[in-house]
Amino acid sequence: MRALLAAVAAVAITGSLTAAASPPDDDLWLADHLARTTSGKQALVHLRAFERIADENGGQRATATPGFAASARYVTEQLTAAGYQVKSQTVPYRQFVFDAESGQETAPHARTIRTLMLDGSPVTPKGGLTAPLVFAPVKADGTSGCTAADYDGLPVRGAIVLAPRSSCGYANQQKVIAGLGGRAMLMYLPVPDPENIYRLHVFTPSDFTIPSATISPEQAGQLSTDAAQHPITFHLELRGHVADKKTVNLFAETRGGSADHIVMAGAHLDSVPEGPGIDDNASSVAALLETAKRLAPFQNRVRDKVRFAFWGAEEQVDVGSDYYVEHLSSAEKAAIDLYENFELIASPNFARFLIDGNVPEAPGSATVTKVFEQYFTRAGLPFKTEPVTGVGSDQAPFVTAGIAVGGMDMGTIGLKTPEEAAMFGGQAGQQYDHCYHQTCDRVANLSLQALDENVPVIAWTIGRFAMNTSDVR
């Protein structure tokens, strides 16, 4: 029924043009055709292929791993079969490699605690460190451990401190602990799914002076229960090093269309090492693959060139897209009229977020967002806007370069509000995607409704801009 409703919505805003028909003399014929012929069902075939790739490669498709290499081959084969010439860009970068990350409660009980070292964290000595475990007081306002006063009366000096992630930011929480003489920080994210554990990034290395890692809320609760019986002694080993790595970006573009006016659409191809990355972000990759295949017969009819991008190492913080934009000449940047970015388009408890067009540093972004809004309004599908920084992703370097951006995501780690539940359905107070960056980010976790609704709009906006970017320039 969901697929039928999505198909009806697509037909309601499209015509009956077929690939063999002569296009009408207007700017929407290609957009309407692509929306009508590109579906979530087709994208699902690719998603199952990416899941098989992950299963065959240790449960992941992270950059610089065999799973990513197999994903890149799959994308290349699909695009080549559709008639595109695929270009690969090698991207050198530096990656933090984890040599040891382990935690054990040694007293009053013997308990192994799964720990994920922060990417770029300071390290413990080889063999680790053993120290008392101190708990940051949990405050209802979400500011636990944000000031030194929060630890008044607690023996932080020489201890490992366990705290919930707070609104002041984990870098600030770490500074407070280090300033009080703490030896290390453990952190958990207070999310509704207590078994979830998330690896965090050290964005500014100079801010961190003590080893830091995350654990799950569930294991934090177990430690708290043990601490009620007896003071806890904890052993922690966190070690890693920086290594030179390489990844690739993949590109395919239409043969036709003005090379002076390029429409780019992209999604990152890599997963995190902790999971297969099907919603994040194979869902968007699959939508772009299907759009490219449906667009292929019209490559020589587009007015403006369309360039599809599949980024490497986004999970290492936009490495592939940063490299690409940084290595464009001024003329090459000027030729890109807009960039559309897509993330997590099938989150199971989804809300539909569009990038807010209010991006002064990237003129034309408001027009890109209005085009998305036009589709959803005509299709009767609800949406919200969020700041361009709402989801940190590959649109960021394009904004810095002054290129108009747009795009959408269906939500990640955040909690759905009651207002959003009324708009989109689903459960208020639960994460948009409880499998975000987890091993359960698989096909079975996806919202097929969201996939069915969102794949056509991706195709429609690309087709619309392929025939007219004059209002963005």
Half-sphere exposure of 8 (CA within 13 A, CB side): 8
Res 238: pLDDT: 98
Q: What is the pLDDT of residues 147-161, one digit of tens each?
A: 999 999 999 999 999
Res 20: pLDDT: 32
Look at residues 256, 199, 265 and name the one whose alpha carbon lies nearest to residue 405.
265
User: In which band, very low, low, confident or very high, does the pLDDT at 18 lie, cut at 50, 70 and 90?
Assistant: very low
Res 325: pLDDT: 98
User: What's the CA gap between 48 and 107, in Å, rounded?
Assistant: 45
Please determine, for residue 22, whether its predicted confidence score (pLDDT) is greater than 80: no
User: In which band, very low, low, confident or very high, does the pLDDT at 473 lie, cut at 50, 70 and 90?
Assistant: confident
Please determine, for residue 190, whether its predicted confidence score (pLDDT) is greater than 80: yes
- If one counts every other C-beta atom within 10 angstroms of the C-beta of residue 259, the result is 12
Please determine, for residue 21, whether its predicted confidence score (pLDDT) is greater than 60: no
**% of the chain residues with pLDDT over 90:** 93
Q: What is the mean pLDDT of residues 347-363?
A: 97
Q: What is the mean pLDDT of residues 310-331?
A: 98
Mean pLDDT of the chain: 94
User: What's the CA gap between 6 and 79, in Å, rounded?
Assistant: 26
Q: CB neighbours of 356 closer than 8 A, spacing ≥ 6?
A: 369, 385, 386, 387, 388, 390
Q: What is the pLDDT of residues 368-404, one digit of tens each?
A: 999 999 999 999 999 999 999 999 999 999 999 999 9
Give the residue extent of every domain in the chain: 2-84+254-467, 96-243
Element counts in the chain: helices (H) and strands (E): 13, 14
| Residues designated as active site | 314
User: In which band, very low, low, confident or very high, does the pLDDT at 278 lie, cut at 50, 70 and 90?
Assistant: very high
User: In which band, very low, low, confident or very high, does the pLDDT at 26 lie, cut at 50, 70 and 90?
Assistant: confident
Res 300: pLDDT: 95
Q: What is the mean pLDDT of residues 191-195?
A: 96
Res 9: pLDDT: 44
Q: What is the pLDDT of residues 35-55, one digit of tens each?
A: 999 999 999 999 999 999 999
2-84+254-467, superfamily in CATH? Answer: Zn peptidases (3.40.630.10)
User: What's the CA gap between 380 and 357, in Å, rounded?
Assistant: 21
Res 460: pLDDT: 98
- If one counts every other C-beta atom within 10 angstroms of the C-beta of residue 36, the result is 21
* Segment among 14-18, 252-256, 468-472 with least mean pLDDT: 14-18
b/e code 431-452 from CB counts within 10 Å (16+ = b):
bbbbbbbbebbbbebbbbbbbb
User: What's the CA gap between 462 and 132, in Å, rounded?
Assistant: 57
Res 27: pLDDT: 82
* Residue 194 burial by Cβ neighbours in a 10 Å radius (0-12, 13-18, 19+): middle
User: In which band, very low, low, confident or very high, does the pLDDT at 342 lie, cut at 50, 70 and 90?
Assistant: very high
In this structure, CATH architecture of domain 96-243: 3-Layer(bba) Sandwich (3.50)
Please determine, for residue 323, whether its predicted confidence score (pLDDT) is greater than 80: yes
**Chain centroid, CA 34 distance in Å:** 25
R_g (Cα) of the chain, nearest Å? 24
In the beta sheet, which residues pair with residue 201?
Answer: 119
Q: What is the pLDDT of residues 223-261, one digit of tens each?
A: 999 999 999 999 999 999 999 999 999 999 999 999 999
**% of the chain residues with pLDDT over 70:** 95
Res 232: pLDDT: 98
